[in-house]
Structure formats: structure tokens, C-alpha cells
Structure 1
Amino acid sequence: MKIPKIIKYGISILIILVVGIYISNRLAEPNFDSDKWKNWTETESEMSLRWDMMRSLGKNHELKGMNKAKIIELLGTPDSELKSTFTYYLGYSKRGINQGYLDIVFDENGIVVDYSVTDT
């Protein structure tokens, strides 16, 4: 059975569009910038800046093993703090009205043992 040319071209164009959108989103992803992270305020134009920097943060900074002072130096004062967990608000995740949070968990010596990103 022979596939009509219009379908072949349509599939090719669709693949090119999907790959192009994926690549443009990856290129638009900002690098982690400690000063921008610490001074971020949630505005309409930068609503998801922290969220967008998360991939770069994880790739370029090994959070596990850092102490609380180093985390504060890198990320600033947490938005909320429990005895063993710092939480940073990430803003909107670009998935509807979902918001993100970075939770950093410390051991009894104040060393990062785990971290997670929550999309609520």
C-alpha cells in the first residue's frame, strides 16, 4: 500500500515542528544565576524564573553534601524553614496554575542529604 505524498509531507512537517519547539524551549532555559534567584520577585514577566533555572541548578551545583550556610549563600534565605528542611518557592511551572517548591532536607549536622521539587 502506497502512502500518499500529502501524508508523508504532513508527517515530516509535524516532526520538524515538534523538534523545533523542543529545541527552542531548551535553548530558552536560563542558566542558574544566584543573584537573580535570591533577588527574584514574582512578576508577570518573570513568573517562573526560579522554576526555569532548576535544571541548570541541578546540573551545575551538587546540593547534596552542602551545609546550611552554603545553601543560604547560593539560594538566599528560604521561604520557609523547619528544623531539617528549607523550602524555596519556585513560582508557576508553566503547566496551568501549578506552582513549584524546592525542598532541601538536612541531616542532624546541617548537611544536605536530599532535595526534591514539588509541582502542586
Structure 2
Amino acid sequence: MKTSFLYIVILFIALSCGKVSHEKFNSENWKNSELNAEENWSLRWDMMNDLRNQYEIIGMNKTEVIKLLGNPESKTDTEYSYYLGYSKRGINTGNLTLTFDKNNKVTKIYVHHG
């Protein structure tokens, strides 16, 4: 009985989280995406899962990050931020923020809606 209830709860959570995209990350598409074009509104969001699963971003230096993702939309000495476009959850948008240490290596990846 408890096991069945647990499976139902897990299934409910999985279904309520929305669509998980299986779009393959493509560096050139990421860097050259025109996010204002309707067909590209969620392009970067759709590639996020593959990007995080297939690339060891933690430990990359700034040059490696720029080679992979292009120039950030905003940056400081310790953070690069990339606009992700619309998240397919209403009009929600978001950013990918990479935090660098004093040796210019990525130490933290943060994706936020907002």
C-alpha cells in the first residue's frame, strides 16, 4: 500500500513539472540564436538539460566558456550571465549564471526563472 502511494506521488510530481526537453546542445545554435524570433523563444531552455549533462562546465575557464557559449549578455569579474529566453511556463524567462573563482574557473552554475 505504501509503495503504491509512493509511486503515485512520484508520477504526479513528474507530470506536474512540465515537459523535459531532449534537445541536444549545439554551441553554434546557442551562440547565434535569435531569441526574439518566435521559433527560438525557448531554444536555450530546450538545450539546458543536455548542456548540463554533457559538458563539465564546473572547472572551465572564461576562455573555454566563451568558446562554448559565446559572449555573455552581462558579466562582471566573477559572473557571466546568459539570457535563456522563455521557459515554456507562461511568460517566464530566465538566465544561466556562471560564477568564477579568483583563478577564473567556474565554481557554480545557477539557472533561475524570472
**Structure 2 residue ranges without an equivalent (≥5):** 1-10
- Could you tell me which amino acid in structure 2 is paired with residue 35 of structure 1? E
Structure 1, unmatched stretches of 5+, are 1-14
- Select which of 55, 59, 64 maps to 1:61: 55
Q: How does 1:13-52 map to 2 (within 5 A)?
A: 25-26=19-20, 29-42=22-35, 43-52=37-46
Deviations 1:58-106 (A, max 9, x none): 0000100000000000000000001100000000001111101000000
Could you tell me the percent identity over the aligned residues?
Answer: 43
Q: Give the ranges of 4+ consecutive aligned residues of structure 1 lying more than 6 Å apart after TM superposition.
A: none
Mapped partners of 2:106, 2:56: distance in 1? 10
Residue in structure 2 matched with residue 88 of structure 1 by the alignment: 82
Number of equivalenced pairs: 99
Partner SS state of residue 91, structure 1: strand
Say what the alpha-carbon RMSD is for the aligned residues.
1.8
2:85 partner SS:
strand
Distance 2:83 2:22 in 1: 18
Q: Name the SS for the 1:87 alignment partner.
A: strand
**Structure 2 length normalisation: TM-score?**
0.81
Match of 1:4 in 2: none
TM-score of the superposition, structure 1-length normalised?
0.77
Which position in structure 1 is the counterpart of 2:101? Answer: 107
**Greater radius of gyration (CA):** 1
Partners of 1:41 and 1:29 lie apart in 2 by 20
